[in-house]
Amino acid sequence: MIFHRFFDDKLAQASYLIGCVATGEAAVIDANRDVEPYVRAAEREGLRIVAVTETHIHADYLSGSRELAKRTGATLHLSDCGDADWKYAFAKQDGVRLLTEGDEIVIGNVKLRVLHTPGHTPEHLSFLVIDGAATSEPMGVVTGDFVFCGDVGRPDLLEKAVQVQGSAEKAAKVLWKSLEKFRALPDHLSVWPGHGAGSACGKGMSAVPSSTVGYEKRVNWAFTAKSEAEFVSGVLAGQPEPPAYFATMKKMNKEGPRILNGLSVPGLLDFSKLPVGSREVGGVKGKGSVHPSKLQTSNDPVLVDLRSAADFAAGHIPGSLSIPLNKSFTTWAGSLLPYDRDIHLLFPDRDAAGLKEAVRDLALIGLDRIAGYWTVDAIDWWRDQGRALATIATMTVDELSKQRAEASHNGVVIDVRARSEWDAGHLPDAIHIPLPELEGRLAEVPTDRPLVMQCQGGGRSMIASSLLQAHGISKVTNLTGGYGAWVKAKLPTEK
């Protein structure tokens, strides 16, 4: 048997290629939308991908199962478990083989035996992996978002991300029952989960790539719960807010992701073709305007500035959004960018070295409308046209502390961190609006007073500052070092 694990760092997402040496056949489980690595790995091993499957309807990335099946001619195998609301809408037209408890996907001498393991989602499957050339007993289990290393899949996503009211507690009880299936498995089985540390699909998973059933039963907190009530309380407590794009991913994965036929790289845009004075890039036209994703009467593209927060603050094209191309890029792009507008990218260098990376990251969450890109030369071109660059002021925690001590100070601090971070401690008199909610809660943002945007370290608050500025709110300052620097300076906090 041949076994390959693939891991995407930004999504903290794992997928698997499992093949049979004797017949040269292979299956892929939980493919993401960049299917090229699976195809290349199969070719290197002399394998043909004949089966593609996935553990559930994903929320954190757009599935590549449909793409990979079309690319390779493989049969697509998908869950037929769960209730009617969570069935694959494209199954019939794609000739999908539907799976239920006990079914098997046969790849030569290798078998993938289906376990229905609901709780994270109603249709969730796990796959027992059996190397038939050696034994009829399983050697491991691909658990998807059912059991992680050190954690279990969160049961609250349907309620928090898709607004299925009252579903979280019910799903948690279902998950408790599903864990009985896991407890009954032999201790020696390997556990291959669908995510690692950094994923929003759980709250405390380990960074190690795999585990065993016996080890998880000994150390995973979920198996230490003495009762259903204790487990339900524990699994629902402290779950992070899901990124805003999760609902969109659920819908797209259920209805059928668009077939890309490979990731296409957009071309370099001729910035000089934008007439001077015609409009601001991104559809922002000064005070009173709205963010590009909310424009109702314009087809203007959204300009995403991929440079560092410091470079963006020093000077940027008005109306652009700051989303640096770093490990958090996928999360904030999915939370803030529209799915119904063209997107233009501005790179921090002259050769757009990260172009393929950015296009891939956006494609993984279904943002396919990348119409083109500019290099950093666009900044110079803007200046050459006699047009002013926008800037964002910065402030240290010491400066903020001194200002807040002055009687004349009337500024407002807006904390854009997650609720769990806010609950653990925050600046006195700050207003809490998590970054993914900021655009929808602009009415709560004072526009008659100076604003200081604050997060944990200064990164998210710069993104928030660019978002407010794109709405025509100009009196915005970013707090350098954020709450972390505030605490380090031993300045007063509240809980």
The tens digit of pLDDT for each residue in 438-447 reads 999 999 999 9
3-class DSSP assignment, residue 307? coil
Average pLDDT over residues 217-226: 95
What's residue 299's pLDDT? 66
Domain check: are 294 and 311 in the same one? yes
For residue 308, pLDDT beyond 70: yes
Q: What is the pLDDT of residue 6?
A: 98
Does 262 fall in a domain? no
| 277 and 342 assigned to the same domain | yes
pLDDT at 174 over 70: yes
Q: Beta-carbon neighbour count of residue 247 at 10 Å?
A: 17
pLDDT of residue 290: 35
| pLDDT (tens digit per residue) in 376-395 | 999 999 988 888 999 999 99
Last residue of a domain, one of 203, 225, 255: 255
Provide CB contacts within 8 A for 278, sequence distance 6+: none
Is 265 domain-assigned?
A: no
Number of neighbours of residue 440 by Cβ within 10 angstroms: 11
pLDDT per position as a tens digit, 30-52 = 999 999 999 999 999 999 999 99
Q: What is the pLDDT of residue 85?
A: 86
Residue at 404 is within a domain: yes
**Do 333 and 240 share a structural domain?**
no
| φ, ψ (nearest 5 deg) of residue 273 | -75, -10
* Structural domain containing residue 26: 2-255
The percent of residues in the chain predicted with pLDDT above 90, rounded, is 79
Identify residue 176 by its one-letter amino acid code. Answer: W
Q: What is the dihedral of CA 278, 283, 289, 292, to 10 degrees?
A: 180
pLDDT grade for 83, boundaries at 50, 70 and 90: confident
449 and 302 in a single domain? The answer is no
**Residue 280 pLDDT class (50, 70, 90 cuts):** very low
pLDDT of 350 > 80? The answer is yes
Residue 366 in tokens: 């279904």
Domain annotation covers residue 229: yes
Would 435 be classed as within a structural domain?
Answer: yes
Checking if the pLDDT of 278 tops 50, the result is no
List beta partners, residue 193. Answer: 144
Regarding whether 289 and 246 lie in a shared domain, the answer is no
Q: How far is Cα 13 from Cα 410, in angstroms, rounded to an integer? A: 45
Location of structure tokens 């007063």:
492
pLDDT of 120 reads: 95
Q: What pLDDT, on the 0 to 100 scale, is given for residue 32?
A: 97
Q: Do residue 167 and residue 293 come from a single domain?
A: no
CATH number, domain containing residue 293: 3.40.250.10
Is the pLDDT at 293 greater than 70? The verdict is no
**Same domain as 420, residue 300:** no
Residue 351, number of CB atoms within 10 A of its CB: 9
Q: What is the dihedral of CA 74, 80, 84, 90, to 10 degrees?
A: 10
Residues 397 and 364 in one domain: no
Residues 379, 399 within the same domain: no
Q: How many domains does the chain have?
A: 3
Same domain, 194 and 312: no
In the chain, % of residues over pLDDT 70? 94
Out of 162-176, 209-223, 288-302, 354-368, pick the least confident: 288-302
Nearest to 143 by CA among 216, 230, 77, 91: 216
- pLDDT the model gives residue 288: 32
Q: How far is it, in rounded angstroms, from Cα 492 to Cα 495?
A: 11
Mean pLDDT, range 296-313, rounded to an integer: 82
Residues 402 and 377 in one domain: no
Point out which residues pair with 302 in neighbouring strands: 343
Q: How many CB atoms lie within 10 A of CB 137?
A: 12
Torsion of CA 377, 379, 382, 388, to 10 degrees: -160
Instruction: Tell me the mean pLDDT in the region 217-242.
Output: 93
Check whether residue 321 and residue 280 sit in a common domain.
yes
> Which segments within 249-331 are labelled E, that is strand?
302-305, 321-322
Does a structural domain hold residue 7? yes
Report pLDDT for 273.
59
CATH of the domain at 85: 3.60.15.10
Which run of H or E residues covers position 413? strand 412-415
Residue 437 maps to a domain: yes
In this predicted structure, the answer to whether residue 334 has a pLDDT above a threshold of 70 is yes
DSSP 8-state assignment for residue 428: T
**Which residue among 214, 229, 255 closes a domain?**
255
Would residue 362 count as lying in a domain?
yes
Minimal CA–CA distance to 329: which of 8, 67, 34? 8
Q: Which helix (H) or strand (E) holds 276?
A: none
User: What was the pLDDT predicted at 162?
Assistant: 77
**Of 206, 224, 255, which residue is a domain's last?**
255
Euclidean distance between CA atoms 308 and 305, whole angstroms: 9
In this predicted structure, the answer to whether residue 284 has a pLDDT above a threshold of 80 is no
Q: Which amino acid is at 231?
A: F
Mean pLDDT of the chain: 91
Instruction: Say whether pLDDT at 150 is over 50.
Output: yes
Nearest alpha carbon to residue 12 among 273, 219, 154, 196: 196
Beta bridge partners of 374: 346
Please compute the mean of the pLDDT values over residues 180-205 and round it to a whole number: 92
Measured on CA atoms in the order 334, 336, 339, 345, is the torsion positive or negative?
A: negative
| pLDDT over 70 at 92, yes or no | yes
